[in-house]
A and B are shown apart, each in its own frame.
Chain A
Amino acid sequence: MAIASENNVQPDVMAKAIKEAVFAGVVAFCMFLLFVGIETYQDINNQLVWRTRWGLLAVFVAVAVVGRFVTVAFIKPHLDKRKLAKAKTGVLDISEEKSFFHKHFLKIALVFLLCYPFLAMMIFGRQGSLKYVDNFGIQILIYVMLAWGLNIVVGLAGLLDLGYVAFYAVGAYSYALLSSYFGFSFWLLLPMAGILAALWGVILGFPVLRLRGDYLAIVTLAFGEIIRLVLINWTDVTRGTFGISGIAKASFFGIWSFDVGAANNFNKAWGLPSSSVYYKMFLFYIILALCMLTAYVTIRLRRMPIGRAWEALREDEIACRSLGINTVATKLTAFATGAMFGGFAGSFFAARQGFVSPESFVFLESAVILAIVVLGGMGSLTGIAIAAVVMVGGTELLREMEFLKHVFGPDFTPELYRMLLFGLAMIIVMLFKPRGFVGTREPTAFLKERKAVSGSFTKEGHG
C-alpha cells in the first residue's frame, strides 16, 4: 500500500518542486539584485559609479533554483521515507551498537591530532606542510580553545557574553607588552596573561552580573568595544592601530630558541634544515596542549560542585539561590575561568603572530566564537570542536577555492563570502539540529551504572 501511494505522490512532488524552485528563484533574484547584481566602485575621477553584474546574479539565482528543486524533489522525500521506515520498525536507533569509530571517536581524534604535523610533512613536504600545520591546524585549534573557553560562560553557566574577544585581547596584549617592555619569556607570560584576563573577567563581572540575558549581552558587547577602543587610543603604550610587532617567539622551554640568529637555535641543535615549519609544529603542540588543558578543566569542573552550580544557574537562578548557592560568586568564577582561557589563547596568538593590533579583536571575532559554541551545541566539547573545524576550516578552504573564479568571474574573492558560510551553516544546523551538532547534555552523575538517559529520546520543551 505504501508503495502504491508513493507512486501516486511522485508527480505531485515534481510539480511542487518546480513551483517552489521558481519561487526560490524569484526570492533570490529580489534579494541579490542590489547586493550582487549591482556593484559600486570609484572610477578614475574618484567618482562613485555603478555597473551591473548580470552574470554573477544569474549564477546566484540558478544556485537557489537548483538547490530548492533538489531539496524538495529528492532530499526531502528521501528523508521522510527514512523517518517513516524508522517509525515502522519501532526501534530507536540509539546507543547499544554504536560503531567502533563512534565509540572511540575521541581517542582516534587525539591520536590523529598528535600525528597530524608529521603526517602533513610526510604528504606535502616540508614547505608544503606549513599551510596545513599553520593555517589549518593552529588556526582551528585557537578557535577550538576560544570556543571551549567561552563555552564555560555561555554553554555551562548560561551567561550570554558578546564581548569574549576582550579577554583574548587582554591576553594577547599582556604578552606583547610585557614581553617587549620587560623581556619576560613566553612560559612566564602564558600563565600571567591568563591570570590578568581572569582578573579583568572579575572586574567586568562584578558590576554587571546582576544583569540577566539580553542586558548582560549588551553590556559585555560594550565592554569588548571599550577594550578595543582603549587599545586603539592609548597610543603611548599600545602604539594604537599600528599594533605591536616583533614580539618574541616562544622558546622550547628555555632550552632552545627558535630565533634564527640565536646560539642555541633549535634547528641547529638538532641538525635540522633551517625552516620555520619546526617552530610551527612546536606551536601546534603547544596549542594542542592548551586545548587539552581547557577540555580537562571543563570536564573536571563539571563534576565538581562549582561546575554543577554553573549548570544549575543556567537552568534556574532562583532555585539555585534557594539551595544555598551564592549566585554572584558562581557567575564570577564562570566569567573568570572563561576569561582565563581566553587570556591563554590570546598570549599564544601573540607569540604565534609576532604581531598584535586592535584589528584582530573586533566584535566579529566574538560573534564567530559564539557562533561556533552555538552551532556545536552549547555545553558539548565534541560538538564545539567539530563546529570549529567546519567553520574555521571552511573559511580557510574558501581561500583555496581558486576554481570558483571560473564560475563567478575573475574578480571573485571567495574568502569575502566567509560570513555566507556561517549563515548557511547556522541555517542548516538550526533546521536539522536546533540544539547544535551535539545537542543533548551528558549527565555527570549516575547512581550505579550508566543508563541510557531516557529523557534524551523525548523532545524537550525549553531550557
Chain B
Amino acid sequence: MTGEPLLKVQAVETYYGNIRALSGVDVDVHKGEIVSLIGANGAGKSTLMMTICGSPQARTGQVIFDGEDITRLPTHLIARKRIAQSPEGRRIFPRMTVYENLQMGAGLDNLKYFNEDVEKIFTLFPRLKERQSQRGGTLSGGEQQMLSIGRALMARPKLLLLDEPSLGLAPLIVKGIFEAIKKLNKEEGLTVFLVEQNAFAALKLSDRGYVMVNGKVTMSGTGKELLINPEVRAAYLEGGRH
C-alpha cells in the first residue's frame, strides 16, 4: 500500500476515567480496503471504534482522516466528514419504522439522494424492503443488523465502521451480511473497517487485519497471512471456526 491512508490512527491512548483502555494503538486504513480488527472480549476493539468517532476522545495520539486531524472534533462533526458507523449493539431506533430509520441515516444531505439510495439499500438487503413499514424494534437480530448497516450507508460514507456485525446471528445470516459488505467494497469501492470476534469470516473477507490484545495491537498483516499464522490460529481460530 502506498500513499496517504484514508484513516490513520497514530499512537492513540484512550482512558475511561483513570483506566487505560487503549495504549498506543496504530492502525491504517487505505482507500478501497477492507481492514479487520480481531481480538478477544474486552481487548478494546469497540473503544478504538468509538475513539475514531470521538466519544470518548483519545487522550494522546492522533486520528487523521482524509488528511485532517479529527481527534478533537465532536462526534457529530466527525460523522459529517462521512465516517459512518454501525455501532456495537446496532443501535437502531426501535420505535421508528425501517423506512424512517433509513431516513435518519440520510440526514447529512437533507434527504437529497434519499430515493435513489434507499432503492440501493433495498436491492442490497431485500428483507428490509419487505419490512419497510415495520418498527425497528420488532425486527429479528439479522434484520436489525442489516438496518444498522443500511442506515450507515445512507450517509454515503467514505469510511464505514462496523462493530461486530455478526454478533448473535446465525451463520447463514452472517454469511449474507459479509457477502453484502464484500459486494459494496468490490462494486462501489467502499472502504470498510471491521471489528470482529468471528475471526475466520472476518479475515477471509479482509485485505488486511490487526490483532488486538489488552488495548495494544500485537500483530498485523494481510488477511491470508493472519489466517495461517499459528498464534492467531491458536488464539482465535481453532474451535472458533464457523
Which of A's residues lie within 8 Å of B, judged by CB? 305, 308-309, 311-312, 314-316, 318-327, 441, 443-447, 451-456, 458, 460-463
Contacts and interface: CB of A to CB of B under 8 A. Distances in A.
A324 B135 contact: no
A318 B96 contact: no
B133 A453 contact: yes
Contact of A322 (B53, B96, B99, B111): B53
Given A322-B79, A323-B107, A324-B80, A453 B97 contact: yes
Contacts of A320: 76, 104
B91 A455 contact: no
A309 B105 CA distance: 11
Given A454-B133, A455-B137, A324 B93 contact: no
B95 A463 contact: yes
Interface of B: 53, 55, 74-77, 79-80, 84-85, 87, 91-97, 99-100, 103-105, 107-108, 110-111, 118, 132-135, 137-138, 151, 155
B104 A312 contact: yes
A316 B101 CA distance: 12
Contacts of B103: 308, 445
A305 B93 CA distance: 15
B100 A324 contact: no
A84 B235 CA distance: 55
Nearest to B75: A321
B107 A308 contact: yes
A315 B155 contact: no
Contacts, number: 113
Q: B interface, by DSSP: helix, strand, loop or mixed?
A: mixed
Closest 5 CB pairs of A and B: A455-B135, A324-B79, A319-B91, A315-B93, A463-B94
A318 B107 CA distance: 15
Contacts of B55: 318, 321
Given A323-B104, A323-B151, A460 B135 contact: yes
Contacts of B137: 455, 460-463
Given A316-B92, A319-B93, A447-B99, 7 more contacts: A311-B96, A315-B93, A322-B85, A324-B79, A443-B96, A443-B97, A462-B94
The interface centre, meaning the residue of A323, A327, A443 with most chain B CB atoms within 10 A of its CB, is A323
Q: A interface, by DSSP: helix, strand, loop or mixed?
A: loop
A323 B96 contact: no
A116 B105 CA distance: 45
B96 A458 contact: no
A320 B87 CA distance: 11
Contact of A443 (B76, B91, B100): B100
B107 A324 contact: yes
Contacts of B97: 443, 445, 453, 455
Contacts of B135: 453, 455-456, 460
A460 B111 CA distance: 28
27 contacts: A308-B104, A308-B107, A309-B107, A311-B93, A312-B93, A315-B96, A316-B92, A319-B91, A321-B53, A322-B91, A323-B76, A323-B79, A323-B108, A323-B151, A324-B79, A324-B80, A326-B74, A443-B99, A443-B133, A445-B100, A445-B103, A456-B135, A460-B94, A460-B95, A460-B135, A460-B138, A463-B94
B104 A454 contact: no
Contact of A316 (B93, B105, B132, B155): B93
Nearest to A451: B133
Contact of B91 (A311, A318, A461): A318
Contacts of B84: 322-323
Nearest to B151: A323
A447 B128 CA distance: 12
Contacts of B99: 443, 445-447
A312 B76 CA distance: 14
Contacts of A451: 133
A455 B79 CA distance: 30
Contacts of B87: 318-319, 322
A318 B74 CA distance: 12
A325 B107 contact: yes
A379 to B, nearest CB: 9
A283 B53 CA distance: 53
A302 to B, nearest CB: 11
Contact of A305 (B74, B105, B110): B110
Contacts of A326: 74, 76
Nearest to A448: B132
A446 B95 contact: no
A460 B139 CA distance: 11
